Chains A and B, each alone.
Chain A
Amino acid sequence: MEFVKKNITLLVGMSIPILMILFVAGSIYLPGLFIQPKFNFLYVSGADSYYSKYQYSVQNGKLVRSEIQRLENQIYQPPREVKLYIYDVAKNESKEISFEEAQNLNLDSSIISPDGFEIVYGSRGEGFFPFFFLSERDYNTLYLKGHNVSKKLNLQLSGSYYNYYNYYDNFRFIGWIK
């Protein structure tokens, strides 16, 4: 007690950063304990646009695919393999699904889910002490964000095309599963 009384200023000075660390930890982890997203979603991986055979979309709440028309007498790269996945928000994992199975799902293609969540890219902070404030969009990480909670997604992507630069093309949200 005598030590605390004698060194109160030093102890307060040292505890301010520790309290901030605890506050940051609390603000990140605590809200996630009470607010959980409920709706799983369907996504496509493997760049279903220029290089693939089909393009996927939602019409009247159902998944449809349309063949990508190519001009004759033009040389194209062979079509890429495109895969459909369901993301289970409770288990935080992806599961591959066939087009035929996915056609049976009721989908909502709105950006924001019925329970108020959306999928966003994270930021990438870079730098070395004492310059930690540089940040930019990080195409390697996606989050489920809503109600002041963000949850990092553990997405499974089509392996053959996955690399640092084409992550943006490698994930496309299709719809929330109702």
Chain B
Amino acid sequence: MVTKEEVLQYIRTLAEQKIITKDELIEAYDSGSGIKQDIFLIKKVGVAEILYYIGGAIIFLGILILVWQNWSTLGFGTKVLVTLGSGIAAYFVGLLFSRDERTETAGSVFYFISALVTPIGLWVVFDNAGFDASSYGSQSLISGIMLVTYLLSLFVFRKNVFTLFSILFGTWFFFSLTSWMVGGAPYFNYWKFYMYRVLVAGAAYILMGYAFSKNERAPLSEFLYTAGMLGFLGAAFALGEWKPNQNVFWELIYPGLVFGALFLSVHIKSKAFLTVGTIFLMAYILKITSEYFSTGLGWPLALVIAGLAMIGVGYMSFSIKKEYIDTKQHR
């Protein structure tokens, strides 16, 4: 019986001799660990895949328009059959299709249809039961049911697509539950409260993306990094507000957050961190220039300085990408 160290040493030797590739190694690990890699977010999106997803979107729109146009004439049973029934049917079609590699992409599309249509079906049920289906309480219930469904699906089938849906419905649940808890309480500034929640959701996405980057869910990482960075830096930027109501804390801490993102882009080799960090650094330069320097220096000169700074940021971003991210990814 060989030890773990011996196996790892043997892999190192094979890698040095270019006998084994990283992909082959990961594939061997996945097949041995019982984790089935689904093609979701891995396979390069071609024309056929785009057409699949457009078809899925058209099916969703068709169901939506059918129910909306005939709302008063359709009975409760028909409405539930068209929405919730279609959603559940699409889920099982997705399950069947994803069993065969040739129809796996079509399976992902049916999962998407299910994820879009099932909440509408639940909305119909809640509406008929006399609840205000668009209230935060009902939205919490609908998103909670969807979250539990996809967490169970993830637990049973271990597919990336269910991880993604669990995260999306979990986010919806987080927002609607906190909105429901606060209600109309007069001490809460709704706009700031919303921004803090986006900040928290963004931080959670980034951390989950980092956790997934080391396992079989790695294809989700860049999506989570992008969404997380947009949320986190976007919310921190918005919390800085605008002169004369600016928040000094967020305006002062913001360069630290942006440069932290740029530093981390090298450390974790993420283009999402670099791109989003660069965009928000540029936005910050423009904001600070217009807030504090447009009156003293005058707008034309302030714009010239801001433009030069943005060229510098762009060059820095390009250099980082070329020097540290692209090269390291190819090594």
> Measuring CB to CB, which residues of chain A are less than 8 angstroms from any residue of chain B?
7, 9-10, 12-14, 16-17, 20-21, 24-25, 28, 120-125, 128-130, 132-135, 138, 141, 143, 145, 148, 150, 152
Q: Min CB distance, A122 to chain B, in Å?
A: 3
CA distance A163 to B260 in the complex (A): 54
B177–A21 touching, CB < 8 Å: yes
Tell me if B211 is interfacial: C-beta within 8 Å of chain A: yes
Give how many B residues have a beta carbon under 8 Å from the other chain's beta carbons: 39
A24-B178, A24-B181 given; A129·B139 CB < 8 A: yes
Chain A, interface SS category? mixed
Tell me which of B139, B174, B196, B211 contacts A13 (CB under 8 A).
B211
The 5 closest A-B pairs by CB, nearest first: A122-B184, A13-B207, A10-B211, A133-B194, A135-B190
Interface string of B169-191 (1 = CB under 8 A from A): 01110111111011111111011
CA distance A10 to B143 in the complex (A): 21
Interface string of B158-169 (1 = CB under 8 A from A): 000000000000
Which chain B residue shows the least CB distance to A137?
A: B184
Contacts of A20 in B (CB 8 A): 174, 178, 196-197, 200
> Measuring CB to CB, which residues of chain B are less than 8 angstroms from any residue of chain A?
134, 136, 139, 143, 170-172, 174-179, 181-188, 190-191, 193-197, 200-201, 203-208, 210-212
Residue in A10, A13, A124, A143 whose Cβ sees the most chain B Cβ within 10 Å: A13
A125–B179 touching, CB < 8 Å: yes
Which chain B residue shows the least CB distance to A136?
A: B190
B191–A143 touching, CB < 8 Å: no
Chain B, interface SS category? helix
Which chain A residue shows the least CB distance to B191?
A: A133
Contacts of A150 in B (CB 8 A): 185-187
A13–B204 touching, CB < 8 Å: yes
B190–A125 touching, CB < 8 Å: yes
A143–B178 touching, CB < 8 Å: no
Contacts of A122 in B (CB 8 A): 183-186
A13-B211, A21-B174 given; A133·B184 CB < 8 A: no
Q: Min CB distance, B169 to chain A, in Å?
A: 9
Contacts of B179 in A (CB 8 A): 125, 132
Beyond the given A129-B139, A152-B185, could you list 6 further A-B residue pairs with CB under 8 A, ordered by the A residue number?
Answer: A17-B170, A20-B174, A28-B182, A125-B184, A128-B139, A134-B190
Q: List 24 A-B contacts (CB under 8 A).
A: A9-B210, A9-B211, A13-B205, A13-B207, A14-B208, A16-B203, A16-B207, A20-B178, A20-B196, A21-B174, A122-B185, A122-B186, A123-B190, A125-B136, A129-B139, A129-B175, A132-B136, A132-B175, A133-B193, A138-B184, A141-B184, A150-B186, A152-B184, A152-B185
Contacts of B210 in A (CB 8 A): 9, 13
A16–B178 touching, CB < 8 Å: no
Q: Min CB distance, B319 to chain A, in Å?
A: 29
A25–B190 touching, CB < 8 Å: no
A16-B200, A120-B186 given; A28·B181 CB < 8 A: yes
CA distance A17 to B178 in the complex (A): 10
